[in-house]
Amino acid sequence: MMLLKLVAILLVFEASSASDCVKRTYAGDSFVCVCNAAKCDTLNIEKTVQPGYIAIYDSDQKTSRLDKTVVPVDEIKSRLYLNNEFTLNVNASDLKQKILGFGGTLTDGAAINIATLSDDLVKQLMNGYFGENGLEYNIARVPVGGSDSSVRAYSLDDTELDFDLEHFSLADEDIKYKLPLLKLALQLNPKFRAFGSAWSAPAWMKTNHALNGNGGLIWKPGDVYYKLWAKYYVKYLNAYLDKGFKFWGLTTENEPAEGIGGSIFNALALTPEQIRDWVKLDLGPALKAAACLDDPEAASYVSGIAYHWYSRNYPSSYQTLASIHDRYPDYFLLSSEAGWTGVASKYLGDWGRAEGYAIDILEGLQHWSTGWTDWTLAVDTAGGPNWAKNWVDSTIVINATSQEYYKNPMYYAMAHFTKFLPIGSTRVGSNVVNAPANVHTTSFITPNNTMVLILINTNNDHIDLTINGFAKVPVVTTLKPRSFRTMVISL
């Protein structure tokens, strides 16, 4: 065993740390990386790999955050541990879906939290999400009007019976907080795009006359209130366009089931049939009349299915995604919200939450999803602000009092995907033999003809595996306990 360890060390061509994390341990079972005016780690990762070598990036519960090793392909035949019956077979000619992107949600609360930092820290944090040396997010979801992640309950037209929407206007939260950050994200990443989602129609359009609770739109699709709701969306898109920002897309709404069940926060109850008919009779025609669909490229993105992770149950919920793809192969699948609940300060450094993110992203991709959108980009240490007291966790937690913020392990789980799978990356087929429990794998080819493997081990033991179809020779590698690994090779 000691000899095998020594051989493996000698075969490493290059080793380095991808970041310079200032570690701090709180209540969680791992650590956060602390960012302030004096210090903040970056993800300055060289994505090209010299022919004949494999670049390996590791993160684990106890020590590493995207630590890099470069190993010669022809010499990666030794292993550190026994029981190497686990085999991953990659088929680079079996092309699947393409990546649309990864990102998070710019809620009112996130934007307000970010604004509590100094100007320099705001730029630093946004670079950490959207910049070349950050996660390189290329998607943001934006609530249309208020959500639970707001300091108040509101819509963009709360004037009773305003059937001409003459009093429709963007909120202070849009103009003062969200718009500047959206424009900054676009400056940091030219491929950045955003889509809007409304939590609720104005209360006066709803059967219960409230933003929350159990209430849908008055009357039925094709009637005045449904047409007003479609017009509301058009006015929102145009209002942002007038302020210099163009949206890429929309979802029909946020979580209609919440409204049906009676939500504590903003929600709108609509059945699948009502959504279908509203799109057909009201929203689609309104967008077309407003020239929102004149651009052929924009029109091509209209047909997609957004889903959230809250009812996920491995593996059945992911098999459902595959079934939806089989039934509607021309519609892309996109995870549009995911996140953990609870007071954020109680979970600082929680590795299990990072594993939950990584598994959901990977298994979604393995079952035809085209990307993944995190929930709110930043919370305070309480998990807010949130007018409904629906406290949540986040990849980044801000401490305005000390003018610092904390990158949770979830941030680095995201990096194993976002840094290596740019828009247009294509999943390729693979299968496993003798796979142990709690190990997950996926494989992609990027537009620059690089193959990327992403491997997750949530066991407390090392896992050996042999990989066929990744390099010209079988590759034997070992996953550390409770770890994520991304492996990169030029084809």
Per annotation, catalytic residue among 173, 253, 337, 404: 337
Q: Degrees (nearest 5) of the Cα angle 148, 150, 152?
A: 95
Our answer to whether residue 255 is catalytic in this structure is yes
Structural element, H or E, at residue 298: helix 296-299
Distances (CA, A) of 41 to 22, 28, 127, 222: 7, 20, 11, 53
Burial class (CB within 10 angstroms; exposed 0-12, middle 13-18, buried 19+) of 145:
buried
Can you tell me whether residue 40 is helix, strand or coil? coil
Q: How many CB atoms lie within 10 A of CB 435?
A: 16
Please tell me the distance from the alpha carbon of residue 17 to that of residue 128, in angstroms, as a whole number. Answer: 17
For residues 58 and 483, the answer to whether their CB atoms sit within 8 Å is yes
Structural element, H or E, at residue 451: strand 450-457
Please tell me the distance from the alpha carbon of residue 61 to that of residue 357, in angstroms, as a whole number. Answer: 14
For residues 465 and 86, the answer to whether their CB atoms sit within 8 Å is yes
In sequence order, which residues have a C-beta less than 8 Å from that of residue 472 and are 6 or more positions away? 73
Per annotation, catalytic residue among 173, 255, 355, 404: 255
Please list the active-site residues.
255, 337
